Structure 1
Amino acid sequence: MNANPPLPQFGRVALRGGLVTAGAQGFKMVIQFLSVIILARLLLPEDFGLVASVGPIVAFVGLLQNLGLQQALVQRKDISDRQLNQVFWISALVGLGSAVVVAALAPAIAGFYGDQRMLGITVASALPLLLGSIAAVPLALMNRHLQFGQLAFNDVITAAAGLVAAAIAAWAGMGYWSLVLGPAVAAVVALGAAWLVVRWTPSRPDFRVESEILSFGANLTGFNLVNFFSRNLDNILIGKYSGAIELGYYDRAYKLLLFPLQNITQPLTRVMVPLLSRIHEDKVRFRDLYVRTNWMLAAVTMPGIAALTLTSEQVVALLFGPRWTAVAPIFAWLGIASLMQSVSSTTGWIFICQGKTKAMFQWGAYSSLTTVASFVVGLHWGAVGVAAAYAISGYVLRVPVLAVMIHRVGPVTAGDFLIMQGLFILSSLLAWLAYLGLPASLTGQSDLLAVVLALCLDYGLAFVLMAIFPQPRRILLTTLANIARNLR
């Protein structure tokens, strides 16, 4: 397989790649939903608890899985077979080391929890780390060649294989081992599918990777580490100082809001990083593609988040029932925080695709520091305080600094970043005022009706404002025309 394919028609590829990836993500979400239902009926809560106890440790070590070298292969304009071979062997070595570290920690983990069953679970959970590292180069090549359809297909069959394996094992009475077997089978299928498609084979071991590639990967790994720390410390602090009940409320609110958002932005990242990387030297095209994509991303996500935030009490009552009313204020504050996160989360494309991972790491360190500080300040008021402090600090301390940083990196400007989000924040405020003006007999008739009304107001006003201003109007009409053309 040629490591440096020709440049494609980016607009068409981006749209088709986005549609294919979104479709595959939909299938994966269905599989995940089925997995929750099926395994919950076959296993005990204790089984889930045992495996979940190991999860954070495996996830943390997994951040070192390939030292960011997979993204380095996607980002570089040209890559040689020698460099591919070097990255493969380094990734495999790091994956092996990660698996050994996790396995070596097994006795300590079992001792910490006072349960010898954790010993086998931890050792077995290390296997996917090694398999994932071996799959890093073929997956990077598929992404580099913009094979989004094949990547999407592989994702779906991998998720399905993991579910089938776990369900069969659970039905056979294997208990918690079924939750370990599922990810292992999924990792084997992912590895096999990737290698079958790419048909690339490494040569003799060579561990001399160029310093530029290592620097790129090291800074990206550093960003992932500090980001992981800040993203998980809130749970630790709330659990320690506010108790399991408060943490349960916070966890439900966090996952209810951010899980759908992540399922939109993460697949989009797979499409956009290789595309933007290929044109990063053409600053005009880079900026245009990034801005157009994020206008549409903001149009899809921000009004929905605003509507759900506005009707947080009704949303929680509908989905969780009356026992979970304490989730509503936490959900509302996290919703306010998330309004700008759909676009803010894509700024990583700007850093990665232009090889500016050092600046990305610096931003990650600052963001993590201010995030952790907000958790500590808000902890005095429990889970609601943590969510509120996180939201307020985001607008005051992080968004302005991020705008300045991406402006310095370029070619996307601070104005590009702030204006597209400002329009939808304005539409959200107008929708909020309009909702408050509705008669209580209408909004109080049913929780579902209240949510539907809020969604209609938010999306309606958002698209009205997009139609008023020239840039978003042009982007909206062009995108709709391209979608219609590709669906014909």
Structure 2
Amino acid sequence: MNQSFDTATIVPGPAYHPHMRAGRSRSAVVGVLWSSLHTAIPIIGSTLIFYVSALYLSPADLGLFGLASSLVMTAIAVSPVAFGEALVQRKTISKSNADSVFWMTMAVGLVLMTSVLLAAPSIARWAGESAISTLLPVLGLRIPLEMSVAVPNAMIVRSMKFKLVALRTSVATTVSLVITLTLLWAGYGYWALVISQLSSSLVICVMVFWTSGWRPGLSFDLCALRELTGYGLYASGTRMLTTMRLDHIILGALGGTAMLGFYFFAQKLYLMLTQFVGGALSSVTHALLSSLQEDQEKTTRAFFIASFSAAAVSLPMFSLLLVLTPDIVALLFDPQWQGAGFTLQMFCVIGCLAGISVVQGAFIRSQGKANWWFFYQLIQQATSLLVIALTFSAGLKTLMVVFTLKSLLVWPISVIMTARLLGIGFFTYLSVLVTPAVTTLAMLAAVLAAPHLTPDLSPVASLAARIAIAVVTYLTVLGLIAKDRITEIFHLVLSGRRQAT
């Protein structure tokens, strides 16, 4: 599986040759199918881990783990690991580009890991949690592992070999799941989650190098690295803003680990569902649209298909969860987690737009405007931290109401940026969301009417009936009013499968 590289340039895979761009949409749909598997597998594993953890851990324990892992994630976030994304965005790259990015990220990773180890005692005293000084050195071992996969993972995405990504994810998720559940049942508490994260990073590192076939050379060229700097710095900045968990750190330090535990619980569910919607589309959309930069018509068509698909999943999924959250939390989780219900509902409101935002971000970055998306994420993150700092003393409910309103008010900025790059009007772009929105409203009407139609059912049967009614109603209405769009996507899937075989 080793890739051969020319000394001057890495020849892009077949999907990147200009004369083959006519089939890019079909190839991308196949990529979405494999990427969906890559996304669904860790979500299933994370859901099981999350549910069992909620049975064994208290909100304070989960908050403590969340605080420690957030500190490590913040260290990873400030690294230049997103320079791997710059390798995907460029039409052609040299061997020196890839080697230089690898050694740069590894060097930064080792420096960050050492810094976390040395700072652990001081951070523990600052946070008022002595256990942090023990947790951080172990979790910090993830940092160089995460840095090492930036380039080989970029090679996989660049060639759109999403089947290999799904294989890698399957193995890593299985290992992490077995370790976590075993340690939880053995009574190791939050240490089960710590060991799980470390083992998952290790397995992913091994699998990525194996499946990509890429191996680093010994060269390091500042000029080759400088070629990627314009895009790479802003991509790294964007990744920093979206992956660093300063909200956890500030809330944990100001509000305590119990409040953070409820917030972490609700946000974890929200992020798993967001990943389910956007994870499958993000990398594929970015790779596809990067290759279509010079063809405005195909770019617009591919973007609208991706946006419709994201909205058609995120709007009904988060809307349904918003309505059913009280019943779901009461039936599936320990009573100690009831305090997280309202927080989860507020995240659901934000989640209705989350999948759409993922596609927006992939499109804007693919057009070489990583700086635009960086500043948008900067506004979102800065205002989020401000809201937490100003409202934590009023309680988690007040904090989440203000947090949600802030997120909704800032979102139109991303719509304006997207519409400008597409060369269309603000409302013309939003028109792609009308059909999923109308269908979602029809679904909610049916779900809200369901308890009156089946008043004698048990809580479990009532919940199952409402979910079934929601699915049937949504699919039926969507099939009636979006027949042409669904037919178009269906044809792309079929032709993409034939092309793949």
Query: Structure 2 length as normaliser, TM-score?
Result: 0.82
Residue 311, structure 1, aligned to residue 324, structure 2: yes
2:347 to 299, 316, 334: 334
SS at match of 1:240: helix
**Aligned twin of 1:280:** 293
**Aligned twin of 2:487:** 477
**Aligned twin of 2:396:** 383
1:280 shift after superposition:
2.1
Residue 109, structure 1, aligned to residue 123, structure 2: yes
**Aligned twin of 1:424:** 436
1:484 shift after superposition:
6.1
CA contact (8 A) 1:286 1:411 kept: no
Structure 1 stretches lacking a partner, 5+ long: none
> 410-419 or 258-267, which moves further after superposition?
410-419
Residue type of the alignment partner of 1:224: R
Give identity over the alignment, percent: 22
1:244 shift after superposition:
5.8
Spell out, residue by residue over 1:21-55, the C-alpha distance to the aligned partner (whole angstroms, 9 max, x if none).
32343333344455567889999999877655421
1:206-225 aligned at under 5 Å gives the runs 206-208=220-222, 209-225=224-240
1:38-437 aligned at under 5 Å gives the runs 52-112=66-126, 118-119=132-133, 121-164=135-178, 180-208=194-222, 209-228=224-243, 232-233=246-247, 236-237=250-251, 240=254, 247-320=260-333, 324-375=337-388, 379=392, 382-395=395-408, 397-410=409-422, 414-415=426-427, 417-436=429-448
CA RMSD of aligned residues (A): 3.8
> 74-83 or 323-332, which moves further after superposition?
323-332
Give distance in 1, aligned partners of 2:192 and 2:234.
Answer: 36
SS at match of 2:228: helix
Structure 2 stretches lacking a partner, 5+ long: none
Flag the 1:195–1:433 CA change in 2: closer, same or farther, 3 A: closer
SS at match of 2:216: coil
CA contact (8 A) 2:285 2:359 kept: no
Flag the 1:260–1:226 CA change in 2: closer, same or farther, 3 A: closer
Flag the 1:252–1:455 CA change in 2: closer, same or farther, 3 A: same
Flag the 1:289–1:370 CA change in 2: closer, same or farther, 3 A: same
Flag the 1:433–1:330 CA change in 2: closer, same or farther, 3 A: same
Give distance in 2, aligned partners of 1:116 and 1:372.
Answer: 25
CA contact (8 A) 1:299 1:462 kept: no
> 43-52 or 5-14, which moves further after superposition?
43-52
Give distance in 1, aligned partners of 2:130 and 2:339.
Answer: 37
1:6 to 7, 10, 14: 14
CA contact (8 A) 1:283 1:411 kept: no
Higher relative contact order structure (alpha carbons within 8 Å, sequence separation ≥ 6): 2
CA contact (8 A) 1:227 1:364 kept: yes
Spell out, residue by residue over 1:294-346, the C-alpha distance to the aligned partner (whole angstroms, 9 max, x if none).
21222123112212222333233232366655444433333222212221232
Count of residue correspondences = 483
1:292 shift after superposition:
0.7
CA contact (8 A) 1:287 1:412 kept: no
